[in-house]
């Protein structure tokens, strides 16, 4: 019961944060609110017994990504109070998607049900065997590094590619748009 109450409280805080991110125009406060959002999420993960995920979310999601966003926001101009675009179709889309999700969630097994199909395959073997195989008590580490090592390798490749993309974007000066607009501006003056 306590568990559900804490969860409900944290999720309503998440909704409030999302609403204020939607409302604010100042970029730096949007970034700060995003940091708060991810930190709240890591609290929810702790409540849901996912300590490793909470750790990663607090370090990577709330730390590194907030730092990156602050660095970007420092170079960008202050956000302007503009009209929202596509307001009407997006409301319809949002309502439709939430209806579909509610219907789907009603068909899922209850939260915390130990006999849900997700808990019956593969995982009992992981929990039973991994201590004898790898001598590490943390099952998450065992699965991440050993059973699903190739997944982690793929993740590393993705990050490497993203890093290459960021470097290529930030150092390229050869986009012809730029010269076009600079010329136009000079002509106007």
Which of the residues 131 through 150 are near other proteins (CB under 8 A)? 131, 137-140, 143-144, 148
According to DSSP, residue 120 is labeled T
User: Which of 174, 175, 186, 189: binder of other proteins (CB under 8 A)?
Assistant: 175
The correct pick among 19, 125, 129, 133 for binding other proteins (CB under 8 A) is: 19
Residue 18: CB minimum distance to other proteins, A: 4
Angle between helices 27-47 and 2-23 (to 10 degrees): 170
Counting contacts by CB under 8 A, is residue 97 touching other proteins? yes
The burial of 62, by beta-carbon neighbours within 10 Å (0-12 exposed, 13-18 middle, 19 or more buried), is given as buried
Minimum Å distance from CB 9 to other proteins?
A: 14
Footprint (CB under 8 A) of other proteins, residues 34-73: 34, 37-38, 41, 44-45, 48-53, 56-57, 60-61, 64-65, 68-69, 72-73
Dist CA 189 CA 183 (whole Å) = 10
Does 178 bind other proteins (CB under 8 A)? Our answer is yes
9, 12, 119, 133: which one contacts other proteins (CB under 8 A)?
119
> By CB under 8 A, is residue 116 in contact with other proteins?
yes
Give the distance, in angstroms, between the CA of residue 37 and the centroid of all CA atoms in the same chain.
Answer: 10
At 116 the three-state DSSP class reads coil
Question: Under the criterion CB under 8 A, does residue 172 sit at the interface with other proteins?
Answer: yes
Q: Which two tokens stand for residue 19?
A: 């609403």
Residue closer to other proteins by CB (options 75, 186) is 75
49: phi > 0 → left, psi -120 to 50 → alpha, else beta; which? left
């Amino acid at each position: 019961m306590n568990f559900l109450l804490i969860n409900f409280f944290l999720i309503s805080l998440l909704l409030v944060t999302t609403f204020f991110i939607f409302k604010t125009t100042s970029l730096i406060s949007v970034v700060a609110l995003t940091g708060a959002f991810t930190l709240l999420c890591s609290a929810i993960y702790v409540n849901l017994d996912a300590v490793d995920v909470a750790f990663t979310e607090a370090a990577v999601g709330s730390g590194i990504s907030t730092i990156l966003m602050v660095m970007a926001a420092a170079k960008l101009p202050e956000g302007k109070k503009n009209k929202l675009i596509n307001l009407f179709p997006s409301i319809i889309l949002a309502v439709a998607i939430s209806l579909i999700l509610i219907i789907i969630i009603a068909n899922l097994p209850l939260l915390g049900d130990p006999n849900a199909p997700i808990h019956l395959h593969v995982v009992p073997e992981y929990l039973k065997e991994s201590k004898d195989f790898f001598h590490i008590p943390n099952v998450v580490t065992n699965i991440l590094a050993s059973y699903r090592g190739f997944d982690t390798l793929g993740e590393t490749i993705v990050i490497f590619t993203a890093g290459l993309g960021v470097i290529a974007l930030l150092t390229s000066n050869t986009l012809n748009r730029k010269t076009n607009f600079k010329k136009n501006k000079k002509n106007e003056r």
